[in-house]
Chain A
Amino acid sequence: MEVIHCENVTKLQGKAKALDQLSFSIKENTITGLIGRNGAGKTTLLKILGGLWRETSGEVKVLSRRPFNSLYVSENSIYIDDAFHFPSHLNLKEILREGERFYPNWNRTLAERLFDYFEFHPKQTHANLSKGKRSTFNMIIGLASRCKVTLYDEPTAGMDRAVRKEMYRVLLKDYLEYPRTIIISSHYLEELEDLLEDVLLLDNGKKVLHLPMDELKEFAVGLTGRSEVLLQWLRGKTILHQQNAGPNELYAVVKKEDISLPEAQRLGMTISPVSSSDVCVYITDRGQGGIDRVFR
């Protein structure tokens, strides 16, 4: 069953297109990673799915309803980011209690256990927490609410590596126990690799890729070999990325389906795997040369 369905969704912000004719759908009970560079439209998309923002045109359906102004979607979805504005005079325990009052599937045991595990003080206020602690607390709310659709917008911002890893583990365990549809946007794709089932890659408000994680891992290969041989052989094929690997040596990343690996081996090239996060970076690269162009 499709839980989220978008068709030709466009969102204008001023004159700029934050989302541009975006179409995709997400099945029930999956974890999807929303990947893209800064300004690719990740937050805009999540806020529209969560019913906070309104799409300019196109059709958005979450749980078969239009999310904007829908009480049903509001009750069955939650959007978590690091700009959560909790009232300053409610302490953390009181905020959890309010969450419990609002969300029908709230898991109090989980909330309290995580609260204790991450050493929160019940009387602390949200505004006084450090950045990482705040993200941790927000994530606890997202986990405990057990909404059918859970949207995390860079939930690990500010967390240290240890907490990040623990949080991913909690997320996975809780997901196995209580499956739901989760979308996570993050800049740390390599850390999320084992967690995600699908990846949706956005660039400039457009969909670039939407495929299972396993396929993304196999999406591209890196070839290292003599420059002229390599370039000759790859003529006419899309080179996702290339850089010098030494005198007269070139490293090039190409789609796996475009080339034949045995032939590459026969031509004396070294074949290396390309990590999924590198693939995403290469695909959404802003042109040849990268940041070095600025200094030229």
Chain B
Amino acid sequence: MSFAELGKAVRKQFFYKFKLFFGLFYSLVITQAIAIVFSFNGTGSISSGQIGQIHFYSADIVLVFTFGWAFISALQLTTKPFRDNEYLFVFNRLSSHLSNLLFLLALSFIGGLSAYLSGYLLKVAVYMFFDFQLIGTNDITSPAVVVAGIITIVLYIWMFASLGYMVGSLVQFQKVFAILIPSIIIGCLILVALSESEAIIRIGKFYFFESSFLLVFIKTTATVCLCFLISAVSTNHLEVRK
């Protein structure tokens, strides 16, 4: 198997997947629309005696919802009905993983871009439909910063997508993960809520409190690569169309 052969197959599968998984874009629109509705209440507020209450509006909720959407969508890609559709024509496991990796990046890009823009949509909607005084829009920034911001968002979404992909692949590998992984996630959430577990909060800070763009890039892509490596190894012997 040469690289040229592999590249050709990956390219064909990538475009095929756009047609195949078009439904994911509908779910993106719905997810983000719901998130915008939730955001109308503001993502934060300060009360002050003199000027009343100040609400902050941002795309934060949309972003978090998009993370969830990416996770679930990627997880779906690994399930049997999706795989059966995928493994119809020319494929092998490696080409399938690589095209999924790229497809999820494309999904993340579209999801990230629309999440970013939904911040503006939200401000316009609030301005139009509510009787608020607009204090500042806080987005007079240089194009470079905007581009870096969008890329960062895309990378974070891609990371969540690859996490979902890894979880899905592990479940395909061993059904016991279907119980194990949700238990671990819920357990961690309880740990954070009850005892503010230091380790888990540190993981969160490691990824989301990073101010250097380069470091964000390295951390997220490294995580993505690790997730895909685990997925590839765990599904290497998977039989299709059973």
Binding site for B on A (CB under 8 A): 47, 51-54, 69-72, 74-75, 83-87, 89-90, 94, 98-99, 101-103
A-B contact list, 26 entries, CB within 8 Å: A47-B239, A47-B241, A52-B240, A53-B239, A53-B240, A54-B239, A69-B94, A69-B236, A70-B1, A70-B92, A71-B6, A71-B92, A74-B90, A74-B91, A74-B92, A75-B9, A75-B90, A83-B241, A89-B22, A90-B20, A98-B16, A98-B19, A101-B12, A101-B15, A103-B89, A103-B90
**B5: shortest Cβ distance to chain A, in Å?**
6
Closest A residue to B80 by beta carbon equals A85
Cβ of B51 under 8 Å from chain A:
no
Tally of A-B residue pairs with Cβ under 8 A? Answer: 65
Contact string against A for B residues 1-36, beta-carbon threshold 8 Å, 1 for contact and 0 otherwise: 100011001001001100110110000000000000
Closest B residue to A75 by beta carbon equals B90
Contact string against A for B residues 216-242, beta-carbon threshold 8 Å, 1 for contact and 0 otherwise: 000000000000000000001101111
With A52-B239, A52-B241, A84-B88 known as contacts, the answer to whether A71 contacts B23 (CB < 8 A) is no
Which B78-100 residues have C-beta < 8 A from chain A? 81, 84-85, 87-95
The answer to whether B241 touches A85, judged by C-beta atoms less than 8 angstroms apart, is yes
**A291: shortest Cβ distance to chain B, in Å?**
30
CA separation between A85 and B82, bound complex, in Å? 10
Closest B residue to A72 by beta carbon equals B1
Q: By CB atoms of chain B within 10 A, which of A71, A90, A94 has the most?
A: A71
Binding site for A on B (CB under 8 A): 1, 5-6, 9, 12, 15-16, 19-20, 22-23, 81, 84-85, 87-95, 236-237, 239-242
Chain A residues within 8 Å of B94, by CB: 69, 71
**B214: shortest Cβ distance to chain A, in Å?**
36
CA separation between A94 and B19, bound complex, in Å? 10
Chain B residues within 8 Å of A94, by CB: 19
Closest A residue to B86 by beta carbon equals A87
The answer to whether A54 touches B237, judged by C-beta atoms less than 8 angstroms apart, is yes
CB < 8 Å neighbour of B88 from A69, A70, A86, A89: A86
